[in-house]
């Protein structure tokens, strides 16, 4: 395992409307993941948004910077700000819109 | 379970040098935690630092804002910036210093 604790990112892609998604390269030990979750970071520029996402996995979002609006389960609309943490239960749709004037950076963690 | 996905925080405390720590209230389902990890957020003002932390649990830090320096395992010194993700293996000490001029906000996830 690396001597530095700083992790790299891979599988960079553009998704939704101009959202940059990068997976966190969580380490392996003896070929097995050390973490019981997967992780990625998302950067959503002003005017951008994610796709509507819905899946069996449960997920948490950690809002690092920016301000925006999340539509949850097709019905709940809520404002988000830096420091917020959100939990999405299985099969609950979620989408984020950046209506602000700075990038939204957020971290996602998901697990079965 | 709540209709809003936004989570609350509890057990707020000051730790290290002026670091504000708040635990994320991750939800329960049928009395059991839904997440295979625990989580908290830390706010370290300019000039502040965390205590030296060392434990059996493995941990990831997600840097939300600010700039600082981490001392890892008593030997590795590295600069951190927003978007960085760090992994601390079991029994590897870690401490963060805010040498910058804005707050460091970071999220911690830890698990056995």
For the cut 70, the answer to whether the pLDDT of residue B109 exceeds it is yes
* Averaged pLDDT for residues A26-44: 97
Q: What is the DSSP letter of A105?
A: E
Q: Which residue of A has its CA nearest to B107?
A: A62
Write down the residue that tokens 């796709």 correspond to.
A51
For the cut 60, the answer to whether the pLDDT of residue A62 exceeds it is yes
Contact flag A62-B62 (C-beta cutoff 8 Å):
yes
Contact criterion met (CB below 8 Å) for B39 and B85? no
Interface pTM (ipTM) of the complex? 0.96
Cα A25 from Cα A6, distance rounded (Å): 10
The predicted-structure confidence for B39-91, as pLDDT tens digits, reads as follows 999 999 999 999 999 999 999 999 999 999 999 999 999 999 999 999 999 99
pLDDT score, position A3: 73
**CB contact residues (below 8 A), chain A span 2-61, against chain B:** 3-7, 9, 24, 26-27, 34-37, 39, 41, 43, 58, 60
- With bands split at pLDDT 50, 70 and 90, how would you rate the model's confidence at B3? confident
With contacts defined as CB-CB under 8 Å, which chain A residues touch B80? 6
For the cut 60, the answer to whether the pLDDT of residue B32 exceeds it is yes
Note whether B81 contacts A: Cβ–Cβ < 8 A: no
Per cent of chain B over pLDDT 70 is 98
* Averaged pLDDT for residues A17-40: 96
> Please, which residues bridge with residue B106 across strands?
B42, B63
Q: What is the DSSP letter of A96?
A: E
């Amino acid at each position: 395992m690396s001597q530095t604790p700083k992790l790299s990112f891979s599988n960079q892609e553009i998704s939704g409307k101009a959202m940059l998604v990068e997976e966190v390269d969580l380490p392996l030990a003896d070929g097995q993941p050390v973490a019981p979750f997967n992780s990625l970071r998302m950067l959503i520029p002003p005017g951008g948004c994610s796709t509507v996402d819905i899946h069996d996995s449960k997920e948490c979002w950690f809002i690092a910077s920016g301000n925006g609006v999340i539509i949850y389960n097709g019905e709940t609309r809520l404002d988000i700000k830096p420091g917020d943490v959100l939990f999405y239960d299985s099969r609950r749709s979620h989408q984020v819109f950046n209506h602000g004037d700075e990038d939204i950076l957020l971290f996602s963690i998901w697990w079965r």
